[in-house]
């Protein structure tokens, strides 16, 4: 897919428009959404992704359409695992329930921006260095093995490097001040725990991208499809959090199922890299001389 710049700009503009509308609705009436509202929003984002995939299929052919749907379903499935950590972060920072929608939305937007940069760098690296498929494949197989061998134990949230740096650099208030991210206190500007928890969600999601991005590159090497599949998967994650938040502790086989998916894609990447190396070796090998 050799896409002109206006296609990228139009796609990003469309995502920004939808997220801006979503943010306006959340900011206008902060609350914990009900079941029907969550179902409606999840259905909307799923329908939007399906419509986009059908458009890709009609305009670019079944191969590109199939790669988008495979990447989107994989990313959406892997993103469900993020909800466990999001729930831990919300509990760790004692975020008021009425403001959790805003926290999740801004955190996910931050994650989407960082993933975009990650995807751009990954696409360039994959185009230049074929041996990265060995690294990606081995990492996915290792991640799958870790998921299969995961012991049932109480999960705990640990602050990552970016979050610790924010805490050290920026003065932080002790408590929340509504949904505000910064306040003026004792003559100085300070950040509230609202901003800290948003950074926690955004940067933690980026850590999860260390396995999801290589996984989708194993399904398609087209940066446009990688980005749009990630965007659609993340955009519906906020409502999914509230929809199945109470059921997360019952999804006991989720990690096992995801491990099978990651292992399959990891093996596929390694085999594909071996195939490319073998083909390159045959092209470079000298033809036998007719004189013996």
Residues in the chain, pLDDT under 50: 151-155, 249, 285, 287-292
Q: How far apart are CA 60 and CA 62, in angstroms?
A: 7
Q: What is the pLDDT of residue 151?
A: 47
Q: Is 112 left (phi over 0), alpha (psi -120 to 50) or beta?
A: alpha
Q: How far apart are CA 178 and CA 111, in angstroms?
A: 23
Q: CB–CB of 203/162 below 8 Å? A: yes
Q: What is the pLDDT of residue 152?
A: 46
Token pair in block for residue 102: 């805003």
Q: What is the sign of the dihedral through the CA atoms of 131, 136, 137 and 139?
A: positive
What number of other Cβ atoms are within 10 A of residue 265's Cβ? 24
Burial class (CB in 10 A: 0-12, 13-18, 19+), 60: middle
User: Taking the model in full, what pTM does it have?
Assistant: 0.70
Query: pLDDT digits over 93-144, tens only?
Result: 788 888 888 888 887 888 788 888 878 877 777 667 666 666 656 766 766 6
Q: CB–CB of 19/107 below 8 Å? A: no
Q: What is the pLDDT of residue 118?
A: 78
């Amino acid at each position: 897919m050799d896409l002109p710049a206006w296609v990228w700009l139009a796609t990003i503009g469309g995502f920004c428009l939808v997220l801006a509308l979503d943010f306006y609705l959340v900011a206008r009436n902060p609350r914990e959404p009900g079941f029907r509202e969550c179902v409606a929003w999840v259905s909307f984002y799923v329908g939007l992704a399906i419509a986009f995939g059908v458009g890709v299929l009609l305009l670019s052919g079944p191969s590109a359409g199939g790669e988008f749907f495979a990447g989107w379903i994989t990313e959406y499935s892997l993103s469900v695992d993020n909800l466990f950590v999001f729930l831990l972060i919300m509990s760790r920072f004692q975020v008021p329930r009425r403001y959790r929608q805003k926290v999740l939305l801004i955190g996910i937007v931050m994650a989407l921006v960082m993933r975009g940069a990650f995807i751009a760098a990954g696409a360039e690296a994959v185009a230049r260095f074929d041996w990265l498929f060995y690294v990606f494949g081995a990492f996915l197989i290792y991640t799958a093995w870790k998921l299969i061998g995961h012991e049932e134990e109480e999960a705990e949230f640990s602050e990552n490097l970016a979050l610790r740096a924010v805490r050290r650099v920026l003065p932080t208030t002790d408590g929340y001040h509504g949904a505000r991210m910064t306040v003026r206190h004792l003559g100085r500007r300070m950040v509230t725990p609202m901003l800290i928890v948003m950074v926690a969600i955004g940067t933690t999601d980026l850590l999860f991208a260390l396995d999801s991005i290589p996984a989708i590159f194993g399904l398609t090497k087209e940066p446009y499809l990688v980005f749009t599949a990630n965007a659609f998967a993340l955009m519906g994650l906020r409502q999914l959090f509230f929809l199945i938040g109470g059921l997360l502790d019952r999804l006991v086989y989720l990690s096992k199922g995801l491990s099978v998916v990651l292992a399959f894609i990891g093996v596929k990447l390694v085999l594909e890299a071996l195939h490319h190396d073998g083909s390159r070796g045959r092209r470079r090998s000298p033809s036998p001389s007719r004189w013996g």
